[in-house]
Each structure stands twice: as structure tokens, then as C-alpha cells.
Chains A and B, each alone.
Chain A
Amino acid sequence: MSPTMVLYVAQAIHGLAYGMLLFLIASGLTLIFGMMGILNIAHASFAMLAAYFCFTALKLTGNFWLALVIGPIVAGICGVVAERFLLRPVHKQGHLAELLLTVGMMALILEIVKFFWGTESLVVKIPESLSGLLNLSGLIYPVYRLFIIGLSLLILAFMALILFKTRLGMIVRAAVSDPDMVSALGINTPFVFMLVFGIGIWLAGMAGAVAGPLLTVFPGMADLLGMDAFVVVVVGGFGSLGGAFIVALFLGELNAYGIQFIPRLAPVLMFTFMALVLAFKPMGLFGERE
């Protein structure tokens, strides 16, 4: 490949990797909103929490793969507990109360992180097996970023399988469409809500855990991840998993090629695009629910 072609292809893969990371975190957010109608402001904080759990698990076991499994699962369990004991009691007060509660949860998680892990940056190292570089016809690319792309696709396939090929998925989709009717059919809706919230947090946790070696694990990590994930969900349409996937990829590429061709405007391209979408399609590109 010519140097120019190498540069453009590399930017495309950077966009893809970043888009996949965005999708991982946004998918949980959109799933929770779609099912429960809760805009979980603390979503990125749970991702950060998973990164910290991952760090601790890595320190204790010395095994990255085990830490990658443990971190998100423990964060998911925290999500289940938060739904059961914090969100559910205020459910009757309406979505505004739930929204405010998630703001409080965000602050609480930040303080917990600072209390247990301190305020300094922590190191999550890439394992030996993923730390090299691949040379693809002159294109030098890190294996770890390709791993992020692969893992995200795997999770997407897993989610699609659960949602479209299982009874649980059918219930979840039905509950997104009409939660009252699902409840009237004898389904334990609160339990399904709790499960979905846990899975949503687990997805955020996966994003936090894989982002750990790429970014810095520190108390500001949630702020780094949160805003872009909200843009993905807003543009893709609240509750639309497919929308989140397509928009995350698009925004990833927009960021990479924006930096390549119009770097001064690149930081605002994502927000400009969101403003345009909201102006013409207030429910997002693929949104069905207000």
C-alpha cells in the first residue's frame, strides 16, 4: 500500500476501534433506557468502577483474562444491587426522581473509588499475547485495538442472539414496547428490569475493562467515557440497540477522519451531527420511543 493509503486505512481502523468502544458503553445505556425508561447518568461511572475492579482482580490474580471477566461481572452485580435497593423504591416517584438518583449514584461511585483506590492513576497492562503490532502490507497496527474490535463484535452477536433468539429476549423486547402489557401477562417485570439493568451495567463494565489499558484508570475516567456514549444513544435513538451500533461506528469514523482532514473542527463534529439529527428527527435516527 502507498503511504497515503496506509494512513487512510489506519484512520479507518482507528475509527472502527473507537466506535466499537463507544458501542460497548452506549449499548448498555440504550438497553436500560429502552426497557426501563431510565436515563442512567451514572452509567459511565459503573464503567469506571469495572475498570477499577479489573485493576484489583489483575493485581490479585495476575491474569488479565480473568480480570476481564471478573471486573464487569462485579460491576454488573453492583448494578443489580443498585436497581433493587435504590432505583426500585423511587420508581413510583417517576423518571425525574430516578434521574436525580442516578446523579447521586454517580457522585457516590466517585467517592467510593477515591476512598478505596485513591486519586492517582492506576496501571492496567496489556497482556503479552495482545501487546504486539501487526504489519499488514505496510500498515502497522496494535493487536490490542484489533482485539477491542473483535470483542465488541462478539458481544454484539451475543446480545443479538439473546434478544432475538431466546425467550428472555422476547420478553425484553416486549417490555420495551409495552411494559404494562408484559406485566399483565404474568411476567415478573421487576425481576426482568433488575436483570436488564445488571446486563446493561455489565456491558458498560466490559467497555471500562477493555478501555483500562488504552486510557488511564483514574477518577476522571467516567467523564472521559460518558459524554460520547450519551451522544451515541441520543443520535441512535433511545432504546435502539441497532441504532447505537450504527451511530457508534459512524461517530468513530467521523472522529478519525475529522482529525485527519479538519482537525480544528473535529472535536465539535460529533455534537454538530447530534444537533442536526435532533433538529430533523428529535427521537434519534432509529428511535421509536419518547
Chain B
Amino acid sequence: MKATSNFHGRWIVLGCIFMFFIFLIGLPQAGAFVPLKGDLAKYDPNNQTFPTSGDTIKIAIWDVFSGPDAWIAEAYYAILGFVAQDINSQGGIKVDGKMKKIQIIKADTQAKPDPAKRAMEKAILEDKVNFLAGVAGSHLMKVGQAVAKEYKVILVNNAAYTDSIMFLPDFNEYTFRTCGTVDGNVKTAAAFYAKRPETKFYILAQDYLFGHACADAFKATIKALKPKAEIVGEEFFPVFTKDFGPYLEKVRASGAEVIFSMAWGADSENMIKQSRQLGLKYSLNKELGIPIVSTFLDATQSLEAIGGPAGRGLVLNTDFQLDPRRPGDKKLMDIWHKLWKTWKAPYNSVNHEWPNGGWLRNMVSYYWLCQVIQKAGSLDSQKIIAAWEGDTFDAIGQKQYMRPDDHQAIADRALCIMEFPNKWFEKNAGPGVPTWIPAKDCMPGMDPKLVGRVAVVVQPKAPAKKVEKPKAPAKK
């Protein structure tokens, strides 16, 4: 009887020791959020519930909250709200040993450099934000980068694509770019067409820096990858062109098989719509309209404006694309779409039906930032920089890697041929199965002067990464 009691007692003690070890193993994970594990059933973009005061992690959406494009920034605000709801419902993020929840602040750029600068300074000085995220327009991002450096605040670039803004002298360590770049996107398109039968390309792009940069990069890359490729025409039209008829007539006469455009907004819609009205056909499949390659076909309104069948055959050249074959994406799609059915205007439109394209791009950037805060365990900019450089994010979307030298996200990029009917939308064309171009084939360019920057600046004593400096000439 006594022996049996001792036997039981030993097992109880052993069990306690085992539980104690389990507790110890789990201790470092306490407070660690996991994307999409929170209570998202309570998320409503029209009634966000993040804290508006107290000891919080303040993230500002620095974008255009006024004028006709305000709905885009409002959508970003809603997406950060989704991320905040997910993380806050899991208790928040552990910072300096204390769990803190996410608070969101709006900073209206008005799409102009001066107001953008003022809005950013107000967010930093008055609202005391810890982080800022934005912005559509490389000219605005350039301004933002300078302000971020001046106040030593982390700025997340999730929408400005011009390569050179992350080159010296504009580059500084306080900015991280989580979106793609012109160079990377164009390389993706070129790599896609290098393996396809089309050989005749017509460049029809907007007449400003971005359009010219896309055209130059495409010409150079497609020629290198596919010597048979022929640029049968190259035109640049003013932003907000009304009548594309004369341009498209030249495209028809040239015998082009593909239009490489990268136009956005009303230009994208009008060009596609008018090309279909004029009956421009894809010479390799006369049932389809001529393929037009653009990054901005993920704006569902463009596809809705042209109508479902007219969207067939368009080519979405995107940096972020949901792929249901990935478990994280499938989970996000299911959660989001179920919630979407309960939302009220303006979030009940097709623009918000799926968290794809630009929405996914921003969501990844917000989750990644929060993951980095968690990793750093601090809001201190230097600790965030150290945590983010070389970090990876793989919860939703394609796997991302933060190149430490120039703070540029590196990832596989997708191209999708638009289909109708499709599983995404009832009335619009939607992306078909993505063709993924490996990161090595669409690697964004980097300023050579930044190569090895981290080795010199952050880890000067690390012998393995030490970069030899040229010797200074001897003084006479």
C-alpha cells in the first residue's frame, strides 16, 4: 500500500517537472502573435475598435485621405485595422516587457509634397507615432524619407516603385521598402514573355518618369532575354488622355501581339476599354482582345468598368498575388471573404471583395512590421533596423526577404492572365493561376555603392563581412 503511494507520488513529481519545462519552453513565446489567429469575427472596417489612447504602438497611414483617390487610403486604413484587430485580440505585441496594442493614425498627404511633409511631421511631433507607412508616388516618398531620417522614425514604403529612391543619396536606413520596384516588375514581365511565343511588343506608356522608366527597363530586359523580341512601336501619351483611338490605330497597323503599358487609373481603363471597342485582337488567339500588360489591373474598378469578357487575356504584372495553393493565402481568403459579406458600404463593393493585389501588398507590409517589432521587442528605431535587416516574412503572400544593404524586399513575383469567368468575381475578369517568376530572375537593381553597407555600418567588427576600404592617398 505504501509502495503504491510512493509510486504515484513519483509520477506526480515527474509530471510537475515535465509541466514546468513545458512552461519554460513556452515562456519566450508568451505574447507572440500569429497572423490570422486572432478574433477576426469582430472586425468591421466601418467600426474599428483599436484603442485610441494609452500606451500603444502608434502606426500612421501616411497617404492621400482627401480628393478622388481618398478611398484607396481609406482601404489601407481598413486593412491595417484588420491587422490591428488580429494582433490586439491576441493581446498585442510585447514591447520592453509589456504587452502593447496597435493604434492607427491617419496622416493625409493630399498627394502633394508640402502637405505630405507637414502631415508626416504632425504625426511624429504631435501624435507621437512610432511608425509610418505609405505612400503612392515616389516624389512623396522621397520627401518622407528625408523626414524619417531627420526624426529617426521608421517609414515603411509599401507603394512607391521608383528604383532610384532607394539609391544614394536618397537612401537612408530609416526607410524599408516592402513593395516591388519598376525594375523588378518589368524584369518579371520580360522573364514571363521570354518563354512565350509572342515576339512583337508595342510600348504604350504614360508620358512621365514612371512610364519612361518602365519602357526603358522593358526594352533592355526583353532584348537581353529574348533576342527575337521586336519593339514594333513606342508611344508615350499624356496622363489623363481621353481618346486612345489614334494611338490604338497605330498599334493595330504595327501588327503588335502585346501592348506593354503599365498605365494606371483612368488611362488604364480608357485604353483597355477603347482597345476592346476598336476590336484590337490578340493575333495568336482571335477570340481574345489584345493583351495589355500592366501592374495596375488589380484595381477591380478598372475591370468592372470595361466589363467581364473584355478583360479576358489582359496580363496582370503584379508584385503581390493571392495564390490559394498556399495555406496562409487560402486561410486569409476564407476569413476575409466571409467577413466581406457582412460589411456595409463602401466596403461591400467588389473592390474589397478579396484582399488581393494592393490590399495584400499593404497587409503583408503591416504584418511584417509587427513581426519585426515583436522580434526587436522594442520601438527603438535602431533595434527595429537591426531586426528587419535580413528578416523574412512567410505567413501570407509569397515569402519575403529584406535585403539588408538597401532595405528592399526580395520575393518571387507573379504574372496572371486575366480570365472570365473566374473564381474571384461574378461580373469582372479576374486573375488566372499565377505564373511565379523566381526572385533571382526579377531581382530589383541596387545602388552598387550600397553593397556591403550593413557590414560597414552595423557590424564594423564582424570579420566575415568586413569590406575593405580603399586606402587614402598618403599626405605629402
Contact = CB atoms under 8 A, between A and B. Distances in A.
B266 A224 contact: yes
Interface string A181-211: 0000000000000000000000000000000
A225 B207 contact: no
Contacts of A260: 246, 249-250
B68 A133 contact: no
Contacts of B273: 214, 216
A256 B71 contact: no
Contact of B246 (A123, A214, A223, A255): A255
B460 interface: no
Given A3-B253, A118-B346, A123 B305 contact: yes
A3 to B, nearest CB: 6
Contacts of A142: 277-279
Given A121-B304, A255-B243, A214 B274 contact: yes
Interface string B210-238: 00000000000000000000000001111
A224 B240 contact: yes
A19 to B, nearest CB: 10
Interface in B262-295: 266, 269-270, 273-274, 277-279
Given A11-B246, A216-B269, A224-B242, A122 B253 contact: no
B23 interface: no
How big is chain B's contact interface, by range? 20 to 34
A18 B243 contact: yes
B41 interface: no
Contacts of B392: none
Interface in B290-329: 301-302, 304-305, 307
Contacts of A119: 68-71
B302 A121 contact: yes
B132 to A, nearest CB: 24
A249 interface: no
Nearest to B239: A267
Contacts of A216: 266, 269-270, 273, 305
B416 to A, nearest CB: 21
B35 to A, nearest CB: 29
Contacts of B249: 7, 10-11, 14, 260
Contacts of A43: none
B435 interface: no
A104 interface: no
Nearest to A135: B279
A14 B68 contact: no
Interface residues of A, number: 43
Contacts, number: 97
B269 A214 contact: no
A118 B279 CA distance: 31
B354 to A, nearest CB: 16
Given A14-B245, A18-B245, A259 B250 contact: yes
A26 to B, nearest CB: 14
Given A121-B266, A122-B305, A219-B68, A267 B253 contact: no
Interface in A105-161: 114, 118-123, 125-126, 131, 133, 140-142, 144-145
Given A142-B277, A256-B245, A121 B301 contact: yes
Interface in A219-253: 219-220, 223-225, 228
B18 interface: no
A120 B250 CA distance: 30
A152 B242 CA distance: 18
A274 interface: no
Choose among B71, B249, B250, B269 the residue with the greatest number of A CB atoms under 10 Å from its CB.
Answer: B249
Nearest to B278: A142
Nearest to B255: A3
A6 B304 CA distance: 32
A218 interface: yes
A260 B269 CA distance: 22
Contact of A7 (B68, B253, B266, B305): B253
B53 to A, nearest CB: 31
A17 interface: yes
Given A11-B249, A267-B207, A218 B266 contact: yes
Given A119-B70, A140-B279, A142-B277, A17 B245 contact: yes
B422 interface: no
Contacts of A257: 246
B349 interface: yes
A199 B404 CA distance: 64
A58 to B, nearest CB: 14
B247 interface: yes
A114 B270 contact: no
Given A122-B305, A260-B249, 6 more contacts: A18-B245, A121-B269, A140-B279, A214-B273, A263-B236, A263-B247
Shortest 4 CB-CB distances between A and B: which pairs? A14-B245, A259-B246, A219-B68, A256-B246
26 contacts: A11-B246, A15-B246, A17-B245, A18-B243, A18-B245, A121-B301, A122-B305, A123-B307, A125-B307, A141-B278, A142-B278, A145-B277, A214-B243, A214-B274, A214-B277, A216-B270, A219-B68, A220-B240, A223-B240, A224-B242, A224-B266, A256-B246, A259-B247, A263-B236, A267-B207, A267-B237
Interface of A: 3, 6-7, 10-11, 14-15, 17-18, 114, 118-123, 125-126, 131, 133, 140-142, 144-145, 214-216, 218-220, 223-225, 228, 255-257, 259-260, 263-264, 267
